[in-house]
Chain A
């Protein structure tokens, strides 16, 4: 059971962060369907950063520092990459679905193109590196800590620093969007941009900020996913996590609390399959793994059936801001 909860925590965090990324863009009025692409791009830059840093023994010794730096690099990369979306969607008022789809294609293309040119491979794998004592150390950011008791080990054993950063980000971002002036302005741009503009809010700037925050978060989530769930291999895909996060965002009704609920529910169900053989009751049922793979998706659909009547997307999402339309 503890193992299951540990797994859930690890799996849910990237999902949570990327779903928040989607929320920030959509609450500002921009549909960010490019989450998947931005994740891929962030993961790629993060992995590249870690790979280059680990050429120095210092960074091999301080593995957690390397991880944090790589996460930061991924976030910056995501923010920069998302500016392509901002440019097309805000500046040129282009269709946001088209821009997002383009970014989803562009990210793996760029990543794989460069990886193949310089590394002669189709994926970027984290490799062993030499530390200051001349020993070869393998990649891995996991924190082992078996002296914290049963409950403690859920949070502190086999844990990742990205989990804590992720939870911290969640708290900060939830406060930011609901309790600050900036958050109110951002949300108003997603509901009625003309009204927001009439009281002096710079809609384009707000939307740009929303999308950039979204990009940074998605980039962060991308590398967090690669480093914790996907064994440190940055290939041209993140197993559809970006789209899944989009689904979790809709599931969570574009609200932080709903999103964290959705992310953990989904993560829990998803990890149930992985750990089913360790749980005697489930093991005795002897169901194929495909069944457990199915469950989270089916559960989400069933929950949506009952909750969707209350579901409401930001009113102005996807509509380019036009001053003249009042």
Chain B
């Protein structure tokens, strides 16, 4: 800001800058969400005889602390590690939704794509014996297989949209439930091949570690007190960065975004908008599935194979993750971690007080609700600035000290 070469008069006021306004409006949303969450806790504590007002204060602090409200430093480390691990699939589904949004498509099909990714990666990881093929090759094959299945699954809505002009939302919803049943069917049909029968819990697929397949941890699990953390968070981060570059610095990304801004205009400009729709959905599907693969290939996770009655929430939560980040791939990393942070805070709240963990989705929901107002808030900011510009900007940059003093004097 203290650049002497730029003439002061041409400077954009700090609060009027697009980026700054975005950050401020996001902060307002987050504060609003926390405030509402606190009010809810406060109301409950007032109406509940067993609680006092100080309980609600302690409650909101616990939620805000996320993993840091876990108590002992060992627990904090453990929860922090798991938080990052669990944020990984959320980053991926968030990216999936965000990329589709950029192309003007609402990918509500991330749960189905996620399930297909999980199925693909688990089947490959468990059926190729690591005695014959090195484990790391199996890992890569499993990862690719899961992602490829997701790409195919994501292409279905894209294809329907491009070819038959069917609203992608309806196809996504249909493919979600089809995926949920296909996955259950496949694992039911294959019987003991993949289902964990060694332990008593037969609802789950064998952990991939039983075949020696697991994501390298580089000691991260040790660092965070034997949590599940592995390098998948780094892979997800790298993918997000790559996506950011692709979307913002390449012709392909430009075409996708153009298609999202105005389909007809992009068609007029000679872009193949149908191909772009299919490609965008394929990428979105691949990303969601890749999240599932990263989660499953950790090696120590239990995948519940009877998926037909409900869809994985991590798929739907990709929507808030994308919305909170305004569909910016880099932003999704932070929004996903933030969502998990609040989540962990909620479970600590549930463990430590008589409140329960559902306050964290409540806070997140309110934050997203407010985030819809971001345009409104930004408008408010810029309107205020227009009025104050007259007095504020010269005040900071040009007006000599005497003038400031007289202004202050006149007020007093």
The reply on A173 being an interface residue by CB < 8 A is no
Query: Is the CB–CB distance between A251 and B170 below 8 Å?
Result: yes
- What residues of chain A lie closer than 8 Å to B275, measured between beta carbons? none
The residue in A290, A304, A308, A309 that gathers the most chain B C-beta atoms within 10 A of its C-beta is A290
Whether B165 and A297, one on each chain, are in contact in the complex, defined by CB atoms closer than 8 angstroms, is no
Whether the pair A92, B182 counts as a contact (CB closer than 8 A) is no
Is the Cβ of B165 less than 8 Å from the Cβ of A309? yes
A308 to chain B minimum Cβ distance, whole angstroms, is 4
Q: Is the CB of B165 within 8 A of A113?
A: no
A68 beta carbon closer than 8 Å to chain B: no
Q: Does A106 contact B (CB under 8 A)?
A: yes
B356 with A94: CB separation less than 8 A: no
Q: At the interface, yes or no: A243 with Cβ under 8 Å from chain B? A: yes
Contact B181 A294 (CB under 8 A): yes
Query: Does B191 sit within 8 A of A, measured CB to CB?
Result: no
| B161 to chain A: closest residue by CB | A308
Of A96-104, A153-161, A186-194, A201-209, which stretch is located at the interface?
Answer: A96-104
Interface of B is mostly: helix
Which residue of chain B has its CB nearest to the CB of A84? B369
Given contacts A105-B361, A109-B361, A243-B173, is CB(A308)–CB(B371) below 8 Å? no
Partner of A94, one of B48, B189, B354, B372: B372
Q: Contacts of A105 on B, CB cut-off 8 Å?
A: 320, 361, 364-365, 368
Chain B nearest CB: distance from A252 CB in Å?
A: 11
What is the distance, in angstroms, from A111's C-beta to the closest C-beta of chain B? 8
Inside 8 A of B341's CB, which chain A residues have their CB? none
Residues of chain A in range 294-324 having any CB-CB distance to chain B below 8 Å: 294, 297-298, 300-301, 304-305, 308-309, 311, 313
**Does the CB pair A102–B188 fall under 8 Å?**
no
Is B164 touching A293 in the complex (CB atoms < 8 A)? no
Instruction: Evaluate contact between B188 and A311: CB separation under 8 angstroms.
Output: no
Q: How far is the CA of A288 from the CA of B309 in the complex (A)?
A: 15
Interface residue tally for chain B (C-beta within 8 Å):
50
The answer to whether B369 touches A110 (Cβ under 8 A) is no
Residues A113 and B160 in contact in the complex (CB < 8 Å), given A97-B106, A101-B368, A297-B177: no
Which residues of chain B are within 8 angstroms of A301 by Cβ–Cβ distance? 160, 171, 174-175
Assembled-state Cα–Cα distance A95/B267 (Å): 25
User: Residue A92 contacts which of B169, B366, B373 (CB distance < 8 angstroms)?
Assistant: B373
Interface residue? B323 (CB, 8 A): yes
Least distance between A245 CB and chain B CB atoms (Å): 10
Which of A84, A117, A294, A309 contacts B164, CB < 8 Å? A309
CB contact under 8 A between A293 and B181, given known A109-B362, A311-B167: yes
Residues in chain A near residue B359, CB distance under 8 A: 109, 113
Are the C-beta atoms of B173 and A246 separated by less than 8 Å? yes
Contacts of A102 in B (CB 8 A): 320, 365-366, 368-369, 371-372
A308 and B164 in contact (CB under 8 A), knowing A94-B372, A297-B174?
Answer: yes
In chain B between 327 and 362, which residues have their CB closer than 8 angstroms to a CB of chain A? 354-356, 358-359, 361-362
A194 to chain B, nearest CB (A): 19
Q: Which of A117, A247, A294, A305 contacts B173 (CB 8 A)?
A: A247
In the complex, the answer to whether A113 meets B362 with C-beta atoms within 8 Å is yes
A contact patch SS: helix
Closest to A310 in B: B165
- Give Cα distance in the complex from A98 to B181, angstroms: 29
Give the complex CA separation of A95 and B185 in angstroms: 38
B90, CB-defined interface residue at 8 Å: no
Closest to A107 in B: B365
Interchain CA distance A94-B316 in the complex, whole Å: 21
Q: How far is the CA of A21 from the CA of B276 in the complex (A)?
A: 33
Contact A98 B356 (CB under 8 A): no
Q: Which of A262-279 contact B (CB under 8 A)?
A: none
Given A93-B375, A298-B178: A113 in contact with B356 (beta carbons within 8 A): yes
Q: Is B319 an interface residue (CB 8 A)?
A: yes
Q: Per-residue 0/1 for A135-168: is the Cβ within 8 Å of any B Cβ (1 yes, 0 no)?
A: 0000000000000000000000000000000000
Distance in Å from the Cβ of A156 to the closest Cβ of chain B? Answer: 31
Whether a CB of chain A sits under 8 angstroms from the CB of B217 is no
Query: Which B residues contact A (CB, under 8 angstroms)?
Result: 40, 44, 48, 106, 108, 160, 164-167, 169-171, 173-178, 181-182, 184-185, 188-189, 308-311, 316, 319-320, 323, 354-356, 358-359, 361-362, 364-366, 368-369, 371-373, 375-376
User: Top 5 nearest A-B pairs by Cβ distance?
Assistant: A94-B372, A102-B369, A105-B365, A106-B365, A290-B185
- 11 A–B contacts, CB within 8 A, in A order: A95-B372, A98-B323, A99-B372, A109-B359, A117-B48, A240-B177, A244-B173, A250-B170, A290-B184, A301-B175, A309-B164
User: Could you tell me which A residues sit within 8 Å of B by CB distance?
Assistant: 84, 88, 92-95, 97-99, 101-106, 108-110, 112-113, 116-117, 237, 239-240, 243-244, 246-247, 250-251, 288, 290-291, 293-294, 297-298, 300-301, 304-305, 308-309, 311, 313
Q: Given A93-B375, A102-B365, A116-B358, 14 more contacts at CB 8 Å?
A: A98-B369, A106-B362, A109-B358, A110-B362, A113-B359, A117-B355, A244-B173, A250-B169, A290-B182, A293-B177, A293-B181, A294-B178, A294-B181, A297-B174
